Amino acid sequence: MAPAGRGRTEPVPGAGDARARYRRILRFAAWHLAVTWWFELLLPRIGLGKVAERTRARRMRKFAQRFHALAVELGGLMIKVGQFMSSRLDVLPPEITAELEGLQDEVPPVPFPAIRALAEAELGAPLEAVFAFVDEVPIAAASLGQAHRAQLLPGNAADTGLDSVVVKVQRPGIDAIIDVDLAALRKVGGWLGRLRFVSKRANVPALVEEFAKTSLEEIDYLNEAANSERFAADFVGDDRVTVPGVVWERTTRRVLTLEDVTAIKITDSQALLAAGIDPAQVAPVFASIMFDQLFASGFFHADPHPGNIFVTPTADPAAERPWRLTFIDFGMMGEVPAKTRSGLRKLLIAAASRDGKGLVSAIGDVGVLVPSTDTAELERAMTQLFARFGGMGFAELREVDPREFQDFAGEFGEVVRSLPFQLPENFLLIIRAMSLTSGVCSSLDARFNLWDSVEPYAGQLLREERGNLVKDVAAQALDTAAVTFGLPKRLDGLLTRLESGSLPVASPRLERRLARLVRAAQQVASAMIFGALLIAGAVVRSGDTVLGNVLMIVAVLPLLHVFWMGRRRR
């Protein structure tokens, strides 16, 4: 939620604006669909395909600029749509995503009388009866709601242990605006779904429903309050993280009252330095907290932009780390879903055996590829990827000539771009979270490299989930060696038992040992494949954004398997 200005305020929309808003969105979409049809379908059919190719980048950029202006003017979900599109690097060209990347959720604040009326209706009493004080000037205003500082009444403050709070109130009429915007978006999604060249690239109606689900969850403040407490529970006892307390007695679906935890904005380097905090030390801590959310608890903050993270100095300046990171705004959260975990078995078998065809099939099962996709070339690409980089460790991959990754991108980049990738929502949110994490860390330390945090975290994860993996594999090897050295004597006994007919068919102990060794090998293979794909994506991304991001997205899957297999072996 962006800081609110003290100038112009936005009037509460009336019901009569709904039809005009709906038609304007449809007119915008229809015009640009017509332009796309002209250039991308008609001109190539009459031999002018090169004209379309030469103008494509400029047309995409102009579309994004016009949508940017429309979103800022209309507000509502249009700003969210722009932010949503800017993160769909798997579907949209870089000309669009780059232009919309800077779209901020900043709108004029609603006049306080309208906010007061809605809050009093929700709380069932005048504000003076439930708060000792409410600041009429909002501290932040966004397309879906705005926030005001307040103080609890003495009795409530004594009960909750809180005094200063922030009251977050939905924008009046936002439910109707969201209904209109979603109706228009579903209409446009239906149009796009009928165009073959679009439907082969992405399942647009599914994208719209994915966006609708996220948006409707974001305006349910009871859901946000529950998310906040679940997030806090995941970090109980962790001195790196704090979360504002929820005042449930003053919270409804459209009003949320939270502890006021305002502190130093995480990217405010000057304020950090003034407080004696080195910004470069904040970056790796923030990255490790995000990794814990993504790969340990599986429940993560999907909107960790600088406005949602504070650095809070602690009372003990002599402590090793005299500050904590405070997270706010839990409306957009993500989970690593059960469906992904259920598809990991096939994925890990394919990855461990460097089976490109099996890996692509597993990726399809997870939902990354649109059903019925012809994946023969992608299978060949993954087979080549394994052949070139699959057997290398992390350190070896760092020494690989970057031109090898560039050659791979040149050979298979068009194959990847032409395939209809359709990332499930959890992957969209993972990409968004990691992209914002990388941006925040780079702002804190220009020399920060996310990989420098990924590598030790991956090692830590392996140690925590299955002890020291190297020692474990060594132990397995010693067990196997012991069996080998004892084979002559045991073979003599085996022959004797065969002759006497007393040999049992089953050997559960040997089966258990083999199973443990196979699982350990699978875990090592997944870790290596994770490193290969992540580094390849990071290197390739500078020259080919789409392919780079696809490789980095695929890297998430073997890392998730490392964690999952470690838990399974307990």
pLDDT of residue 8: 46
The pair of structure tokens assigned to 224 is 């946000």
Helix (H) / strand (E) element for 225: namely helix 221-234
Residue type, 218: E
Backbone angles phi, psi at 476, to 5 degrees: -60, -40
Q: Which residues share a beta bridge with 150?
A: 134, 165
| DSSP letter assigned to residue 152 | E
| Max CA distance (Å), the chain | 98
pLDDT band for position 438 (cuts 50, 70, 90): confident
Q: What is the pLDDT of residues 384-405, one digit of tens each?
A: 666 665 544 444 545 556 566 5
CA 507 to chain CA centroid, Å, is 46
CA–CA separation, 102 and 180 (whole Å): 25
Question: Residues 67, 82: contact at Cβ < 8 Å?
Answer: yes
| DSSP letter assigned to residue 137 | S
The string of DSSP letters for 2-17 reads PPPPSS--PPPPPTTH
pLDDT band for position 247 (cuts 50, 70, 90): very high
CA–CA separation, 229 and 393 (whole Å): 39
Of the candidates 466, 444, 465, 434, the one whose C-alpha atom is nearest the C-alpha of residue 538 is 434
CA–CA separation, 272 and 313 (whole Å): 9
Q: Looking at 195-209, 368-382, 494-508, which range is the least confident one?
A: 494-508
Of the candidates 241, 348, 301, 346, the one whose C-alpha atom is nearest the C-alpha of residue 563 is 348
The string of DSSP letters for 274-291 reads HTT--HHHHHHHHHHHHH
Give the strand pairing for 299-301 and 309-313: unpaired
pLDDT band for position 558 (cuts 50, 70, 90): low
CA–CA separation, 111 and 558 (whole Å): 50
CA 25 to chain CA centroid, Å, is 28
Q: Long-range CB contacts (< 8 A, 24+ apart) of 33-36?
A: 33/191, 33/192, 33/195, 35/59, 35/63
Q: What would the mean pLDDT of 353-360 be, rounded to a whole number? A: 68
Higher pLDDT, 351 or 78: 78
Of the candidates 79, 18, 90, 179, the one whose C-alpha atom is nearest the C-alpha of residue 425 is 90
450-to-150, 288, 437 alpha-carbon distances in Å: 39, 10, 9
Of the candidates 242, 262, 289, 272, the one whose C-alpha atom is nearest the C-alpha of residue 1 is 262
- End-to-end C-alpha distance for the chain, whole angstroms: 42
What is the rounded average pLDDT for all residues in the chain?
75
CA–CA separation, 194 and 176 (whole Å): 28
Of the candidates 263, 169, 188, 228, the one whose C-alpha atom is nearest the C-alpha of residue 24 is 188
CA–CA separation, 181 and 26 (whole Å): 10
The pair of structure tokens assigned to 513 is 């040992």
Q: What is the pLDDT of residues 14-44, one digit of tens each?
A: 545 888 999 999 999 999 888 888 888 888 8
Q: Which residues share a beta bridge with 134?
A: 150
pLDDT of residue 107: 73
The pair of structure tokens assigned to 246 is 């929820």
CA–CA separation, 222 and 207 (whole Å): 25
Burial 138-164 (b: 16+ CB within 10 A, else e): bbbbbbbbbbbbbbbeeebbeebebee
Q: Looking at 214-218, 256-260, 349-353, which range is the least confident one?
A: 349-353
88-to-284, 452, 548, 561 alpha-carbon distances in Å: 26, 26, 13, 24
Of the candidates 284, 268, 264, the one whose C-alpha atom is nearest the C-alpha of residue 441 is 284
307-to-31, 104, 191, 266, 436 alpha-carbon distances in Å: 36, 11, 36, 8, 11
Q: What angle do CA 159, 138, 308 make, to 5 degrees?
A: 75
Q: Where are the alpha helices (DSSP H) in 310-375?
A: 338-352, 356-366
Q: Where are the alpha helices (DSSP H) in 219-268?
A: 221-234
Q: What is the pLDDT of residues 90-144, one digit of tens each?
A: 556 778 877 887 676 667 889 999 999 999 999 999 999 999 999 999 998 888 8
Residue type, 230: R
The pair of structure tokens assigned to 435 is 């992209």
Give the strand pairing for 241-242 and 323-327: parallel
Q: Which of 14-18, 67-71, 452-456, 493-497 has the highest mean pLDDT?
A: 67-71
